[in-house]
Structure 1
Amino acid sequence: MKLATYKDGSRDGQLVVVSRDLSTAHYATGIAAKLQQVLDDWNFLAPQLQDLYDTVNGGKPRHAFPFDPAQCMAPLPRAYQWADGSAYINHVELVRLARNSKVPENYYTEPLMYQGGSDDFLGARDDAPFASEDWGIDFEAEVAVVTGDVPMGSTPEQSLDGIRLLMLANDWSLRHLIPDELAKGFGFFQSKPATAFSPVAVTLDEAGDAWQQGKLNLTVQSQWNGRTVGMCDAGQEMTFHFGQLIAHICKTRNVRAGSIVGSGTVSNRAIEKDGKKEWVKGYSCIAEKRAIETILDGKPSTDYMKFGDTIRIEAKGRDGLSVFGAIEQRVARQGK
């Protein structure tokens, strides 16, 4: 099933069930008002939502209405936890190679992860506000999962059973603020503003056979100012699957229902062509493009985003239809 949260003037919005083709929606009020309620009581409430979903797909229920992504908050507008990994080692290798830095050996055996702000997410069509272009504004196209309860000490295989929903994410980064923050030895904070998520979150069955062993084997498409810059395979080169990412958190703590875990920037390796490397699938963040330019030319030539720039992130299923709807955002000057 596909679930979204409509804006209603409150912090947590109103839960709606959305048809498979993203054309129709129906309020889930008679079952649950908020998505967190469903995550807290999944085994009881999810089957009821599934029945409503089947009804929405099977015809036109009396109270159905046209689905409008512009009315969506993030599917889970605020969460108990937002933990973002860096599951694609190729991304790390590129960024490190561009600055002549070696990737530590443990990066290949243990995921990188940071804990971001989870109290204020952006909807898929919300503007992304920033005070300055000098901060190095960058999009990051990612896959994310929403969990149920996953006990401390869970294995990667056990952790997979705790995944309830899939989403796309745009994990905004302010690249020029990152170096000073990391130099303090305490990680990201101001350099990681509010993250945006796809209009809908979907259950695993909606991905069909594209969901395998904790990976989403679909192409994540990124269009910057209307130009396609990334057609990156989210499954093929994911070094750590979502079960491993969740288990990484579970080493020392419980993961509670309503936690969101991100994959990090979807990234694919170059191919060798006529003795040269070519990144034919493009990129899912500008920092990676700049790293490639530095490797090839000795310096980056692509600037970060400016006010008025747009980014569109989407993934289509085997049938060619949008699975999650598209994230479509505009970079805006804060307060304007």
Structure 2
Amino acid sequence: MKLATYKDGSRDGQLIVVSRDLSTAHYASGIANRLQQVLDDWNFMSPQLQDLYDTLNHGKPRHAFSFDPKQCMAPLPRAYQWADGSAYINHVELVRQARGAEMPPSFYTDPLMYQGGSDDFLGACNDVVCASESFGIDFEAEVAVITGDVRMGATPEQALDGIRLVMLANDVSLRHLIPGELGKGFGFLQSKPATAFSPVAVTLDEFTTGGESAWDKGRLNLMLQSTWNGRKVGRCDAGPEMTFHFGQLISHLCKTRNVRAGSIVGSGTVSNKDWSRGYSCIAEKRAIETIQGGKATTDFMKYGDTIHIEMKGRDGLSVFGAIEQEIAPPPLVVGQS
């Protein structure tokens, strides 16, 4: 099934069920008002939502309405936890090679992960508001999962059972702020503003077409498309080159603590060794330019730039809807010129 959260003037929005083709929707208020309620009581509430979803796809619910992605908040507008991995080692290799840094052997066996802000996510069509273009504004096209409860010490295989929903993410990075923060030895903070997520989050069964599933043991074997200012810059395969699958990422996260329902785990920038597939973030494009020609020539994003991130299923239909954002300056404060 496909779930989304509509704006209703509150911080947490209103849960809706969305049809498979993303054309119509129905409020889930008769079952649950918020997605977090469903995640907390998944076994009881998800079958009821599935029934509503089936009716929406095959029948004519009395109160169905046209689905509008612009009315969506993030599927989970604020979460108990947002932990983003770097599961595509090719991306790490390129960035480090461009700056002449060695790849520590542990990077191939132990996932990289940081904990980001989870109190203020962006909807798929919200502007990316940034105080200055000089910060080096970059998009990062990713896949992410929302979990149920996963106990401390869970194996990767056990962790896979904790995945409830999948969605896309634009994990915005401010590249010119990153070196100073990492130089302190304490990780990202100001360089990682609010993350945006796709209009809908979907259950794993949605990836099955014609008896075959694009979901394969924690990897999603579909193409992630990134379009910057109307030009397609990336068509990257999210599956085969994902060094650490989602079960491994979640297991890494819960090595020393429980992971509770409503936690979000990201894949990191989707990246392929075949450079002809393009890129899912500008930093990778700049790394390739440096490796090939000695310097980066592609600038980071400017005010007015747009980014479109989308993934289509094997049937050619959009799976999650599209992330469509514009880079914008902060609004002027009254009395400011």
Normalising by structure 1, we get a TM-score of 0.97
Equivalent residue number for residue 275 of structure 1: none
Query: Residue 231 of structure 1 aligns to which amino acid in structure 2?
Result: R
Question: 242, 245, 262: which one pairs with 2:246?
Answer: 242
Q: CA deviation at 1:239?
A: 0.2
Aligned residue number for residue 92 of structure 1? 92
Q: Which amino acid aligns with 2:292?
A: L
Supply the distance in 1 between the matched residues of 2:331 and 2:193 (Cα, whole angstroms): 15
CA shift for structure 1 position 224 = 0.1
Which residue matches 2:177? 177
1:222-261 to 2 correspondence within 5 Å?
222-261=226-265
| Letter in structure 2 aligned against 1:82 | W
1:269 equivalent in structure 2? 273
User: Which residue of 2 is the match for residue 316 of structure 1?
Assistant: 312
- C-alpha displacement of 1:269: 0.2
Counterparts of 1:34-113 in structure 2, within 5 Å, are: 34-113=34-113
Pairs within 5 Å for 1:118-129: 118-129=118-129
Q: Aligned residues: percent identity? A: 80
Number of corresponding residues: 328
Distance in 1, matches of 2:248 and 2:331, equals: 40
Say which SS state the counterpart of residue 158 (structure 1) adopts. helix
Partner of 2:289: 293
The CA deviation string for residues 202-234 of structure 1, in whole angstroms up to 9 with x for no partner, is 000001210001000000000000000000000
Q: What code does the residue aligned with 1:232 have?
A: C
Q: How does 1:181-200 map to 2 (within 5 A)?
A: 181-200=181-200
TM superposition shift of 1:325: 0.2
Q: Please state whether the residue corresponding to 2:61 is helix, strand or coil.
A: coil
| Corresponding residue number in structure 2 for 1:273 | none
Note the 1:116-195 alignment, pairs <5 A: 116-195=116-195
| CA–CA distance in structure 1, aligned partners of residues 207 and 184 of structure 2 | 41
- Which letter does structure 2 place at the counterpart of 1:267? S
Letter paired with 2:128: A
What secondary structure sits across from 1:312 in the alignment? strand
In structure 2, how many angstroms separate the alpha carbons of the residues matched to 1:125 and 1:25? 18
4+ residue segments displaced more than 3 Å: none
Supply the distance in 2 between the matched residues of 1:266 and 1:51 (Cα, whole angstroms): 34
Equivalent-residue separation in structure 1 for 2:59 and 2:237 (angstroms): 34
Counterpart secondary structure, 1:190: coil
Counterpart Cα distance in 2 of 1:137 and 1:60:
44
CA displacement 1:2-50 (0-9 Å, x = unmatched)? 0000000000000000000000000000000000000000000000000
CA distance in 2, matches of 1:300, 1:19: 43
Output one character per residue of 1:211-269: Cα deviation in whole Å (capped at 9) or x when no partner. Answer: 00100000000000000000000001000000000000111000000000000000000
Residues 120-141 of structure 1: CA deviation (Å, up to 9, x unaligned): 0000000110010000000000
RMSD (CA atoms): 0.5
Give, in angstroms, the shift of residue 59 of structure 1.
2.2
Structure 1 stretch displaced more, 57-66 or 323-332: 57-66
Say whether residues 1:15 and 2:32 are aligned partners: no
Deviations 1:39-78 (A, max 9, x none): 0000000000000000000122110000000000000000
Partners in 2 of 1:283 and 1:335 — Cα distance?
Answer: 31
Q: Give SS of 1:280's match.
A: helix
Q: Output the CA distance in 2 between the equivalents of 1:213 and 1:195.
A: 26
The corresponding residue for 2:280 is: 284
Q: Quote the Cα distance in structure 2 between the aligned partners of 1:156 and 1:113.
A: 15
Whole-Å separation in 2 of the counterparts to 1:81 and 1:217: 26
C-alpha distance in structure 2 between counterparts of 1:148 and 1:44, whole Å = 13
CA distance in 1, matches of 2:45, 2:60: 22
Q: Which amino acid aligns with 1:249?
A: L
Structure-2 residue corresponding to 1:335: 331
| Structure 2 unmatched ranges of 5 or more | 333-337
CA distance in structure 1 between the aligned counterparts of 2:331 and 2:242, rounded to whole angstroms: 38
Please name the residue that 2:299 is paired with. Answer: 303
Q: Which runs of 5+ in 1 are unaligned?
A: 271-278
State the alpha-carbon separation in 1 of the partners of residues 113 and 219 from structure 2: 17
For 1:38 and 1:15, how far apart are their aligned partners in 2? Answer: 10
State the TM-score, normalized to the length of structure 2. 0.97
